[in-house]
Structure 1
Amino acid sequence: MKQVRVLIYFILMAAGIFMLLPAGAADTHNSVVYTVPVEETVERGLSAFLERAVEEAEEAGADHIIFEMNTPGGRVDAAGDIARTIRESEIDTTAFVVQEALSAGAYISLNADQIIMEPGTEMGSAQVIDGSGNAAETKAQSAWLANMRNAASQNDRDPVYAEAMADPSVVIEELNVGEGELLTLTAAEAEEVGYAEAVLDSREEVLSFLGLEDAEVVEFELSPAEQIARIVTHPVIIPILLSIGGLGLVLELYSPGFGIPGILGAGSLFLFFFGHTVAGFAGWEALILFIVGAGLLALEVFSPSFGIFGILGIGAVLTSLILSSFSTVNILISFVVALLVTIAGMVLLMKYADRAGPMKRVVLQDATTSEQGYLSNETRTDLDGAEGTAVTVLRPAGTGQFGEERLDVVSEGGYIEQGRKIKVISSRGSRVVVREID
């Protein structure tokens, strides 16, 4: 009985030790930290990249994401999407300002759980600017100020400094920011007003400050496709691509074969759809619709349909561009710019360039000139001075007999009776002029 009791105790002890093993193994598991660069202009391509970075970090079970900030700002709508991605992340986040976080970059940083800055860096100057470089309208500015205040408040930061970054009417005396100036915080000032948790020199110091010095660091980088997407989805680049695309294809109509203009045109349009597809704005349906529209426009050129194919083609192309774009207003402006450039190119080509290539099929190139041997009637110079008889009355036209040959003739203007003697005084093509002789 005693042996059985000892055996039971032994089994229970072994079971307890076994149950503790997984907990011990979890304690020895290294943490994972993702570092994600936030560089250059804030636009839709960057938004898609950061969304992918956060999703991958969450799938990998990362413990922390460090956004290394170095941006002068950019589009407000893209910054809003990025901020939402950061706020909704299940992982703790830190904005590490390695050079500058201005304008939209400041707003993105304020949405992170913590802000750490390197010495000599700065953050702020976040007023909304329109396309012409002026302050945005009151409605847009008011919404942006609310976003800045909310971003600061959600992480227990004084919202007055965030408002001063975007509103030049806010005065911050302790930082010598007067009316008409925007607040831009240095690293030391940000730490002083509670906008930066620390000022550190390197990523290693940041990891140590976060208690993650032993963590596995995963450096998340842009793929080549995302690098292209960031460029071609820029609002300034889009109208350029569409203009080159339209003008290149028009030039190809005036070139024999398929040459450089066609390659440039097709390549520009490919870059547009490729970049917007990678950025997550376009799908295959947009590309297919564009190809259908281009085909309808080609049919209108080579098989005129009184504008039906042309109207349908333009509608299909425009719809495909709208489906591919993140902003309907921006793509409509880009489309109008590209259309004007293409029309101007067509006018110049039709006025100054010889037609060639596929246009030969719809435009007659040859001229039926006498220099090239084209004659409507042969001039009978051998008839000059020939004498004959009026077979019919000439009033003034009629028929004359010259030897064994009958010809349609016309008198100089007078009436000549049938049977009278006549003489050829000139012959030009089919016109043979005669006069009566005694």
Structure 2
Amino acid sequence: MEPFFFVFTSKWYFWILGSLVCLFLGGAVPAQQNQNLAGTALLLDVRGVIGPATSDYIQRTMAKSNTEGAALIILRMDTPGGLDTAMREIIQDVLASPVPVVGYVAPSGARAASAGTYIMYASHIAAMAPATNLGAATPVHLPMGSQPPGEATPPGEGEEAGTPPKDTLARKAINDAVAYIKGLAVQRGRNERWAEKAVREAASLSAQEALEMEVIDLIAQDIPTLLKRLDGRNVKVVGGEITLQTTDMTIIPVEPNWRDRLLAMIAHPNIAYILMLVGIYGLIFEMANPGFILPGVVGTISLLLALYAFQVLPISSAGLALMLLGITFMAAEVFVPSFGALGIGGGIAFVMGSVILLDVEAPGYQISWSLIVAAAVSSAGFLYMVLLLAARSQQRPVVSGREQMLGAVGKVTAVARDKMTVRIHGELWSAQAREPTTLGQRVRVTELEGLTLTVKPELEEDLHD
């Protein structure tokens, strides 16, 4: 046991693996005990693309506000939109929250586009800072070849009227989004007509226009101004109506914890894509070279992180299957000679799978084309290098076995009547010659029978070694 324990603990990568496991297990333990948040407002910053990390961050904070008695939740937003699944999870939490939620587009110059507009409509109170905007809520994940939202077939003209299937799918997606945002508008008493226009025509509004059209409730330059204008407002939440008392309310910023930051990092499509490639190639290298350990450890960790990211991302199973098939074919080319057929087919499958891997077109959630090309070229280059080395190895002279002895040059070390001893490659061999030879003469092997060599004298002009 002692040697095994010493080897195990002396490897630094085992310590890294153990630390990661403890880090993940530690996430299940609360970082701090519950505290009384009565009379306070929790401030959450929703910046950048809305994804799984954002919904987890908001859901965790809302659960905290419910258990610890916060009086208000402020979502300070500056977002271009994001994933539909993450947006709907956030809206469900907002609609079910017994604590009033304020959607606040700030600071000046910020926006709440696409998914951010839906969240603003779902919030109990919608506010904007000057010089901000919201809108452009048209679903971007539409079938290829469909008509733009403004040119869609008018409602009432269905498939029977000759509407192409792709246009029908586009109309279904748009109509679903319209019904969803109009339902939020009715519940919060906001402008339904403009909500529909934001979806069908990708319309946008400035803060002043949004206030005039009753899309938002107020304009506030900053958080203190926002609290002053919220004071005394009646808000309907789950469980009844609340009168806000925001004068002298304490603001507590809530930062994303390590789990949210880790999820936000690995859930980025490019990062998840790289982690998957590192994981797969690490395991392939470990299986091809057993005992290295480090590639296997790094590959396993990377692959697990990639699978976790794919769990929360809208992954196309066909794209993932094509990628795995392509990598398998390219790896098989190394072991199964197919004159490049497996390698070329694997490269094509790999690129096609990478292109359709993510079943989403939300901003910030596409795999970079440059990354796909770089990965494909690197894989093809590696495959070409392996095939080139294999081809060169076939052309090299044999360095062991019977074939290696034929043509080898040695020196006569002893001569008897019909036998002699020669030294070849540092070894002494019994030999016979059909021509006269002398002690110390250089000879070349012409035949090998058992352990006896047949040699002939090597003339000076014929020496090659």
Name the TM-score class by shorter chain. Answer: 0.5 to 0.7
Provide the rounded CA distance (Å) in 2 between the counterparts of 1:241 and 1:129: 27
- Is it true that 1:340 corresponds to 2:326 in the alignment? yes
Provide the rounded CA distance (Å) in 2 between the counterparts of 1:104 and 1:384: 94
CA drift at 1:77: 1.5
Describe the superposition over 1:298-345 as per-residue Cα deviations: whole angstroms up to 9, x where unpaired: xxxxxxxxxxxxxxxxxxxxxxxxxx7146753553353255246435
| Maintained 8 Å contact 1:120/1:186 | yes
Q: 1:110 aligns with which of 121, 124, 131?
A: 121
What is the aligned partner in structure 1 of residue 236 from structure 2? none
Unaligned segments of structure 2, at least 5 residues: 1-36, 149-168, 232-245, 334-379, 388-397, 410-423, 437-444, 455-465
Q: 1:61 aligns with which of 66, 69, 72?
A: 69
Provide the rounded CA distance (Å) in 2 between the counterparts of 1:259 and 1:225: 28
Provide the rounded CA distance (Å) in 2 between the counterparts of 1:335 and 1:427: 56
Q: What are the residue-to-residue correspondences of 1:262-277 with 2, within 5 Å?
A: 262=296, 264-272=298-306, 276=309
Higher mean alpha-carbon deviation, 231-240 vs 110-119, is at: 231-240
Provide the rounded CA distance (Å) in 1 between the counterparts of 2:229 and 2:185: 22
Q: 1:248 aligns with which of 282, 285, 288?
A: 282
Identical counterparts, % of pairs: 22
Q: 1:43 aligns with which of 37, 51, 59?
A: 51
| Maintained 8 Å contact 1:115/1:197 | yes
Q: 1:130 aligns with which of 141, 153, 176?
A: 141
Task: Letter of the 1:202 partner, please give it.
Answer: D
Provide the rounded CA distance (Å) in 2 between the counterparts of 1:96 and 1:427: 92
SS in 2 for 1:84: helix
- Is it true that 1:233 corresponds to 2:267 in the alignment? yes
SS in 1 for 2:433: helix
Task: Letter of the 1:158 partner, please give it.
Answer: N
Provide the rounded CA distance (Å) in 2 between the counterparts of 1:103 and 1:367: 70
CA drift at 1:36: 1.2
Q: 2:449 aligns with which of 395, 420, 430?
A: 430
Provide the rounded CA distance (Å) in 2 between the counterparts of 1:243 and 1:97: 38
CA drift at 1:248: 2.5
**Greater radius of gyration (CA):** 1
What is the aligned partner in structure 2 of residue 190 from structure 1? 210
Provide the rounded CA distance (Å) in 2 between the counterparts of 1:336 and 1:131: 23
Count of aligned pairs between the two proteins: 296
Change (3 A) 1:198 1:59: same
What is the aligned partner in structure 2 of residue 306 from structure 1? none
| Maintained 8 Å contact 1:191/1:197 | yes
| Maintained 8 Å contact 1:103/1:124 | yes
| Maintained 8 Å contact 1:379/1:430 | no
- Is it true that 1:162 corresponds to 2:195 in the alignment? yes
| Maintained 8 Å contact 1:40/1:72 | yes
Q: TM-score, normalized by length of structure 1? A: 0.59
SS in 2 for 1:85: helix
CA drift at 1:82: 0.9
CA RMSD, aligned part only? 3.8
Task: Letter of the 2:251 partner, please give it.
Answer: V
Provide the rounded CA distance (Å) in 1 between the counterparts of 2:95 and 2:261: 25
| Maintained 8 Å contact 1:247/1:345 | no
Task: Letter of the 1:192 partner, please give it.
Answer: E
Unaligned segments of structure 1, at least 5 residues: 1-28, 169-181, 277-323, 355-364, 386-425, 434-438
What is the aligned partner in structure 2 of residue 404 from structure 1? none
